Structure 1
Amino acid sequence: MTEEIKFPELKNDIFLKACKGEEVPRVPVWIMRQAGRYLPEFKQVRADVDFFTVCRSPELACKVTLQPLDRFPLDAAIIFSDILVVPQAMGLEVQMIPGKGPHFPNPVRDPAELSRVEFPVNVYEKLGYVFDALTLTRQRLEGRVPLIGFTGAPWTLMTYCIEGGGGSNMSNCKTWIYKHPQESHKFLQMLTRVCIDYLLGQIKAGAQALQVFDSWAVELSPELYKEFGIPYLVQIGKEVKAQYPDIPLICFAKGANYALEELSESGAYDVLGLDWTIDPKTAREYVGDRVSLQGNLDPCVLYAGDQVIRQETEKMLASFGTRRYIANLGHGMHPTHPIEGPASFVDAVHSISEKMINKN
């Protein structure tokens, strides 16, 4: 894999333009977890293989990445993978349990156990399958839309490594922070280094934008997030931008609305993602014209039928405006979402935003 890979010419670049604050003919839209369990064709693939086998097979990862693009007129693809491939690359076993989610049979419960976390990591050896999937997918997209790569944020990755899974009250991980701050920073810095190398490798492999998911940011107080979350997010963004200043970077720190101003002022990200717990106008006040915003429709709206979806999407677009904005959900698709939900949402974004822009 080299930087000299030749890729097809991009035909739809409105997502990239919106990331950079440039004018667009309509608001671009993509959906977190747009490739996944709500799609019948994805379930068909998963009937024969387990989750991480799909992630580790470039052919299958490419196939499921393209599935939502074949159904909906989305403006970006996001590579099918998982944030927990990073802990796997660092020598930790991760299983995906049906009906339960990720599970670490042997979590890192004590700072003394940091010695069994592999570091440093050669991402090209350990995560080459993701890079191969990106390159293959970029070729097979044939320039239809840009391809997004991603990683989990250090804090979120650390929570999984210590808790052994998601959905808890994070008592084990937060105990580390309070009792072992020095070791916590050491672990976070290890994860940060791997994330940076991983993202740089994704760009070389063909990713045209990158998103950092801090899904468990909501579990930290503003004071703790300022010490154990934000600095590592900023380090990731700045180090990646130092090498690839033209690749848009998106940060989605779920539930950390208080961090919007600081993150927007850091210069580390082009776009900040939002969940549904913040008013769009308030978010704009936090970030000014420094970054673009992405989000923030409540995913549960997609259960409510076409009329409600259009009404809520119109409200969202009216609040955000059409410049420096990318339409998305405030979190990912649910496995139980009806297939009509994303179809209505994407169509509503396209038709409503076109009218808004043409009116102006």
Structure 2
Amino acid sequence: MSEPHPTKPLLAALQGALRPHPRGGKPMWMMRQAGRYLPEYRALRAEKGGFLDLVYDSAAAAEVTLQPLRRFDFDAAILFSDILIVPHAMGQHLQFLAGEGPHLSPRLADARLEDLTPVLERFEPVYETVRQVKAALAPDQTMLGFAGSPWTVATYMVNGEGSKDQGVTRRMAYEDASRFQALIDAIVDISVDYLSGQIKAGADAVQLFDSWAGSLSPAQFDRWVIAPNRAIVDKLRARHPDAVIIGFPKGAGGKLLSYVEGTGVDALGLDETVDPVWANRILPSGLPVQGNLDPLALMAGGAELTRAVDHILASFEGRPHIFNLGHGIDKDTPIAHVDALVQSVRSAG
């Protein structure tokens, strides 16, 4: 990896730098920071219609991506998109139904991957969004791209929607491992292309979201989480040797160390269930970490929010650390609580 970036505090932290932040505290951003808790987002969403209409309208998606940076003292913009853009580009039909969430069809529990017709031009508006956001950012702000990790993307492709235990996909992985491996391999390859396109368009770093990593046994975790993410990291670095990659295996718990060692990611995102004191002790010295405030603590605000922020900051003192939530911000979070969070982080240290 290249030397830490001289003017972007968050990117420098991802590259292992331990520097005082120019505005105090730690570099910070929030997962789902562009979204429904912001009235300006709700207004634009109402104007544009459906979620996909917003994602594929590059100017609108860039506007949504930039909205939280106008309100809050964040160090990064995170691309406004969705992890299911990948299966949409692979040829599944994608729709977001009010009150039900995303649906993919045909679901691969009943259909063959080979029967899908890829529509790779669906990536082009996303790349244009990255270009527009990057052009609008201040010199000290970082542009983050992302993709879903293969296991999590596969759970949606196989089942057609989210589930509590990913049971349909887990069963396929046991009963027809060769078929499932072919799906994982296909997701790896298209994800590398997708992330490479984001980097070429201006992303300074990319994050791999594995939202359902916690549902797997250790052996299955090795095969369906660690191995495919390693493949993405290796293939992406073959194209972009200085690529900066954050891994976020939600729910991995005690498997976090094996994830870091096995995947080769540059930085590790921690969900809210991880004890930061434990994580700081077991993770490799100098590994940048990101997280891990409970989104519900942010929603609650007050003394508990302050206590949680102080505990996280103290736990990672002496380690490159990006302050973030342990998962996405809830749509009902008061904006005043986000202001209080930013003030609390900035006033520390």
Query: TM-score band, normalised by the shorter chain?
Result: over 0.9
- The Cα shift of 1:44 comes to 0.2
| Deviation sequence 1:246-301 (CA, Å, 0-9, x none) | 23110000001233222322462110101111211221233222521111111100
Structure 2 residue runs of 5 or longer lacking an equivalent are: none
Paired residues of 2:65 and 2:78 also in contact (CA < 8 A): yes
1:25 aligns with 2:20: yes
Q: Which of 51-60 and 21-30 deviates more?
A: 21-30
1:16 aligns with 2:15: no
- Mapped to 2, the partners of 1:228 and 1:75 lie a distance apart of 32
1:35 aligns with 2:30: no
3-state SS in 2 of match to 1:213: strand
- The Cα shift of 1:311 comes to 1.6
Q: What does 1:261-300 align with in structure 2 at a 5 Å threshold?
A: 261-266=257-262, 268-289=264-285, 291-300=287-296
3-state SS in 1 of match to 2:144: strand
- Mapped to 1, the partners of 2:65 and 2:127 lie a distance apart of 14
2:102 alignment counterpart = 102
- Mapped to 2, the partners of 1:244 and 1:253 lie a distance apart of 23
- The Cα shift of 1:73 comes to 0.2
3-state SS in 2 of match to 1:313: helix
| Deviation sequence 1:4-28 (CA, Å, 0-9, x none) | xxxxxx9951101111111221311
1:77 alignment counterpart = 77
Paired residues of 1:56 and 1:129 also in contact (CA < 8 A): yes
1:329 alignment counterpart = 325
| Deviation sequence 1:25-44 (CA, Å, 0-9, x none) | 13111000000011000000
TM-score (norm 1): 0.90
Paired residues of 1:196 and 1:236 also in contact (CA < 8 A): yes
Paired residues of 1:150 and 1:213 also in contact (CA < 8 A): yes
> Counterpart of 1:44 in structure 2: which amino acid?
A
Q: Which of 276-285 and 47-56 deviates more?
A: 276-285
1:89 alignment counterpart = 89
| Deviation sequence 1:213-270 (CA, Å, 0-9, x none) | 0001111112211111110011111211222232311000000123322232246211
Match of 1:303 among 299, 303, 308: 299
Structure 1 residues 251 and 288, CA gap change in structure 2 (3 angstroms): same
3-state SS in 2 of match to 1:289: coil
- Mapped to 1, the partners of 2:78 and 2:290 lie a distance apart of 15
Structure 1 residues 246 and 306, CA gap change in structure 2 (3 angstroms): farther
1:52 alignment counterpart = 52
Paired residues of 2:227 and 2:263 also in contact (CA < 8 A): no
Match of 1:166 among 149, 158, 162: 162
2:242 alignment counterpart = 246
Moved over 4 A (4+): none
- Mapped to 1, the partners of 2:255 and 2:239 lie a distance apart of 25
> Counterpart of 1:25 in structure 2: which amino acid?
P
Paired residues of 1:78 and 1:149 also in contact (CA < 8 A): yes
Match of 2:224 among 201, 210, 228: 228
- The Cα shift of 1:343 comes to 1.6
Paired residues of 2:76 and 2:141 also in contact (CA < 8 A): yes
| Deviation sequence 1:165-196 (CA, Å, 0-9, x none) | 11332121111011101111110000010001
- Mapped to 2, the partners of 1:75 and 1:250 lie a distance apart of 16
- The Cα shift of 1:305 comes to 2.1
- The Cα shift of 1:126 comes to 3.0
Paired residues of 1:149 and 1:209 also in contact (CA < 8 A): yes
- Mapped to 2, the partners of 1:56 and 1:96 lie a distance apart of 14
Paired residues of 1:11 and 1:144 also in contact (CA < 8 A): no
Structure 1 residues 344 and 245, CA gap change in structure 2 (3 angstroms): farther
3-state SS in 2 of match to 1:102: strand
3-state SS in 2 of match to 1:229: helix
Structure 1 residue runs of 5 or longer lacking an equivalent are: 1-9, 356-360
Aligned length: 340
- Mapped to 1, the partners of 2:286 and 2:191 lie a distance apart of 24
- Mapped to 1, the partners of 2:285 and 2:339 lie a distance apart of 31
- Mapped to 2, the partners of 1:297 and 1:18 lie a distance apart of 18
CA RMSD of aligned residues (A): 1.7
> Counterpart of 2:295 in structure 1: which amino acid?
P
Q: Percent identity?
A: 39
1:117 alignment counterpart = 116
